[in-house]
Structure 1
Amino acid sequence: MKRRLYPLVLAFLLVPAWAQEGKALYGQFCASCHGAEAQGIPGAIPPLARNPRVQDETHVVQVVRQGLSGPLEVGGVTYNGVMPPMPQVSEAEARAIAQYLKSLGGAPAEAAPPAPRVQGDAALGRALYLGQKPLRNGGAPCQACHTVAGVGFFGGGSLGKDLTDAAKRLGGEAGLSALLTNPAFPVMREAYKGRPLTEAEAAALAAFLVQVSQEAPRPPSLYLGRFLVAGVFLLGLLLIYQAAVWQLRPKSLAERIRSQLRR
């Protein structure tokens, strides 16, 4: 009988420890979007505190590691964003996060009042995206890795995803601001490690991406035409350079003799 009780006692002692570890992991991986108190962002990111969905530990682990896309309803509010997968979170860490969320209760959550946030300047966001204005902490401009339709001569880099519809996928301006302030994506998290965006920069970039998502889509041929123009321009420069090198090259003996005879 005593032997049967040992696993129960051990589990009873370990659950608080798991929840405490989960709280720290939640602060590291989840709080940037869902809030320090798991209250979410009204209309953009669902709350996790007192959310009945988080009582299913298996579901929470799957969502943390594989991501989730809407629409889903929590507390009478419908959310239609996309939570990116976080494979960098181990299964054990995801279970610790799940234990912490379960400790917050399972009664239906009421919509939290909107938290005050910095108003984004779309024009500043465009300059930051293109690198026309440097980021305060020295991070790379978004265009180095990402493309936005119709922005920049060549559109941008191809390492990251196209951000043209990022506002629709990631919870609008509020969701984007939260993600940019504390990135959930492993590559972006590493790229901005020690060089985080300021709150004002994140808000400006979010406002810019919202503006982009509302514009008419640009045809793919736009960039093809730009590449052709750039190619013709570079070819012209190359021909001018070759002509200059040819004129400045050392003359051969035969050329010098012919030049003297012409005189």
Structure 2
Amino acid sequence: MKGAKLIPLALALLLGLALAQDGKALYGQRCAACHGSEAQGVPGAIPPLAGNPRGQDEAHVLKVIKEGISGPLEVAGTTYNGVMPPMPQVTEAEARAIAAYLKGLSGGSQEAQAVPQVQGDPALGRALYLGQRPLQNGGAPCQACHTVAGVGFLGGGSMGKDLTDAAKRLGGEAGLAALLKNPAFPVMREAYRDKPLTDTEAAALAAFLAQVSQEAPRPPSLYLGRFLVAGLALFALLLLYQAALWQMRPKSLAERIRAQLRR
């Protein structure tokens, strides 16, 4: 009887171990780029998951993966103000496996340990953002979908969100670099699935966006007005071009006769 009772317990233990092993691999794929390979987080930007009481709560972990979360959050005496978007690409089973792995990190450090960060060059980031310098793996420049204040007469693309305040919303320069390396936003994730940013590119773009975060976001009406002005200028140029072509056209017989009669 004792042996029979121990069998379910052993199976549950083995299942838990299997989930934790799968969860470690899934954590590496889905979470490590932002929260660190050891779940240590990024100091001041992204909270640690190791030793974080919220990370031990499976229901909370599942909810955050499904719905996302935003600050302010306090972990081990540090307040984090970033945003983690929802991750619909993570299935329920994968989320449970990740939660099981995080539960096994209860003995981790209570504080995020500093990890080496690539120093970002905002000038390079601006060139990459505008497409003046191509991304190494062939990805589209950010301006194709996004706009930021103070860059470009007509702004940028309207498909994505205005990135002027991205550094303030998404965990500062370090948080941005982590998100750029491992996009959680569905459209961006698909666009760069086979064309990931390098560490240097992510750091440079993050540094550039941190720099422009000091600018005030500009209303869409500003760019609409500029677009109308540019459109009118182009229309005037087309009229001048048509007038020049009209003057250069071959004269008809009637026009030649009238010109001779006026002499």
TM over 0.5: yes
CA drift of 1:218 comes to 3.9
Is residue 223 of structure 2 the alignment partner of residue 223 of structure 1? yes
Q: What amino acid sits opposite 1:214 in the alignment?
A: Q
2:194 match = 194
CA-CA distance at 1:113 after TM superposition: 2.9
Report the CA distance between 1:6 and its aligned residue: 5.9
State the superposition RMSD in angstroms. Answer: 2.4
Aligned to 2:190, the other structure's residue is in SS state helix
User: For structure 1, which segment, 1-10 or 63-72, has the greater mean C-alpha deviation from structure 2 after superposition?
Assistant: 1-10
Measure how far apart 1:182 and its partner are: 2.1
Q: CA deviation at 1:13?
A: 2.1
Distance 1:219 1:193, change over 3 A: closer
Which residue in the other structure is 1:67 paired with?
A: 68
Per-residue deviation, 1:246: 3.5
Please give the per-residue CA displacement for 1:43-80, whole angstroms capped at 9, x wherever unaligned.
10001112111121111011011100011111121111
Q: Which residue is equivalent to 2:57?
A: 56
- Aligned partners of 1:75 and 1:108 also within 8 Å: no
Instruction: State the SS of the aligned residue for 2:124.
Output: helix
Unaligned runs of 5+ in 1: none
Question: Aligned equivalents of 2:6 and 2:250: distance in 1?
Answer: 96
* Matching residue's letter, 1:50: G
Q: Distance in 2 between matches of 1:132 and 1:74?
A: 40
SS in structure 1 opposite 2:150? coil
Partner of 1:143: 143
The one-letter amino acid paired with 1:41 is V
SS at match of 1:127: helix
d(CA) in 2 for partners of 1:162, 1:87: 22
- Tell whether 2:115 aligns with 1:120: no
Distance 1:110 1:3, change over 3 A: closer
Q: Distance in 1 between matches of 2:129 and 2:10?
A: 55
Identify if the C-alpha distance between structure 1 residues 9 and 257 changes in structure 2 by more than 3 Å, giving closer, same or farther. farther
- C-alpha distance in 2 between matches for 1:248 and 1:191: 49
**Mapped partners of 1:138, 1:61: distance in 2:** 34
After superposing the two structures, state which structure 1 stretch, 215-224 or 28-37, moved more: 215-224
Asked if structure 2 preserves the Cα contact closer than 8 Å seen for 1:52 and 1:108, the reply is no
Moved more, 7-16 or 196-205: 7-16
State which drifts further: 48-57 or 250-259.
250-259
Deviations 1:135-193 (A, max 9, x none): 12221110001111221121111111111111011100000111112222222122112
User: Is the 8 Å Cα contact of residues 75 and 109 (structure 1) preserved in structure 2?
Assistant: no
Q: Distance in 2 between matches of 1:25 and 1:248?
A: 70
Separation of aligned partners in 2, 1:165 and 1:5 = 56
Give the counterpart letter for 1:104 in structure 2.
L
Q: Distance in 2 between matches of 1:33 and 1:130?
A: 25
Q: Which residue of 2 aligns with 1:182?
A: 182
**Following the alignment from structure 1 to structure 2, what is the Cα–Cα distance between the partners of residues 140 and 82?**
24
Percent identity over the alignment?
Answer: 77
Q: Give 2:237's aligned residue.
A: 237
Contact 2:71 2:82 in 1 (8 A): yes
What is the one-letter code of the residue matched to 1:12?
A: L
Instruction: Give structure 2 stretches of 5+ with no counterpart.
Output: none
Q: Which amino acid aligns with 1:230?
A: A
In the alignment, residue 88 of structure 1 is paired with which amino acid? Q
Residue 84 of structure 1: how far off its partner (Å):
1.0
C-alpha displacement of 1:116? 1.6
Q: CA deviation at 1:41?
A: 0.4
Output the TM-score relative to the length of structure 2: 0.89
Structure 1 letter corresponding to 2:64:
V
Decide whether aligned partners of structure 1 residues 110 and 56 sit closer, same or farther in structure 2, where only a CA change above 3 A counts.
Answer: closer
Mapped to 2, the partners of 1:6 and 1:248 lie a distance apart of: 97
Taking structure 1 as the reference length, what is the TM-score of the superposition? 0.89
Instruction: Please state how far the C-alpha of 1:250 moved relative to its aligned partner.
Output: 6.4
Give the 5 Å matches for 1:12-91.
12-91=13-92
